[in-house]
């Protein structure tokens, strides 16, 4: 691992911590690993930490001319807020699955947009988690929802590490492999 630590700014750290807390709470609720904790119990975290705090972090990132994190945090904040406030609405399983699928497409865009390895890893795991949760809603599969929950937990753990690594000066990237024999390295 690369021992260099990316600088990171306060807004990015706060945004990633808000994302991590939300992903861990919602993911663990889907796994049912903690007795009696359901996704309904995570609505407050999703609404205020995942929704409001993440959206505000996005606005602050835009103010700092950080378009990538501004877009990611504002979009995810809006989606988490919408998910939390609409959870009590009487929607069909297919409507809920469609929302999760659309949410997954936004996260896929964030994954493919580039950025640092930890950010892409967190978004990639979150995309898989959302995709599995959407399919679970369409097929009314509790087992598949648990698997999607575990991917969401993993995404939360990576987002937490990404934020904490900056503060604790831990490694934040993998070293690039040197070009081998007969391979031309381009910069």
Can you read off the two tokens belonging to residue 95?
Answer: 């409507």
pLDDT (average), residues 161-185: 76
Q: Whole-number mean pLDDT of the chain? A: 89
pTM of the model: 0.86
| pLDDT the model gives residue 176 | 67
134 to 15, 95, 114, 178: CA distances (angstroms): 25, 10, 24, 40
| pLDDT the model gives residue 14 | 94
pLDDT in tens, 2-40: 433 344 588 999 999 999 999 999 999 999 999 989 888
Whole-angstrom distance, CA of residue 170 vs CA of residue 5: 6
| pLDDT the model gives residue 7 | 40
What residues does 173 pair with on adjacent strands? Answer: 2
């Amino acid at each position: 691992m690369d021992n260099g630590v990316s600088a990171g700014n306060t807004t990015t750290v706060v945004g990633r911590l808000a994302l991590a807390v939300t992903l861990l709470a919602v993911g663990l609720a889907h796994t049912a690993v903690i007795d009696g904790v359901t996704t309904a119990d995570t609505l407050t975290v999703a609404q205020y930490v995942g929704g409001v705090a993440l959206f505000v972090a996005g606005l602050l990132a835009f103010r700092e001319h950080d378009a990538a994190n501004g877009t990611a945090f504002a979009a995810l904040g809006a989606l988490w807020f919408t998910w939390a406030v609409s959870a009590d609405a009487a929607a069909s399983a297919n409507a809920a699955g469609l929302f999760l699928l659309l949410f997954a497409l936004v996260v896929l865009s964030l994954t493919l947009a580039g950025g640092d390895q930890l950010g892409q890893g967190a978004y990639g795991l979150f995309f898989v988690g959302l995709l599995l949760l959407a399919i679970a809603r369409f097929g009314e599969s509790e087992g598949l929802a648990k698997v999607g929950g575990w991917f969401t937990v993993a995404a939360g753990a990576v987002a937490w590490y990404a934020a904490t690594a900056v503060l604790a000066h831990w490694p934040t990237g993998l070293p690039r492999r040197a070009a081998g024999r007969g391979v031309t390295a381009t910069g």
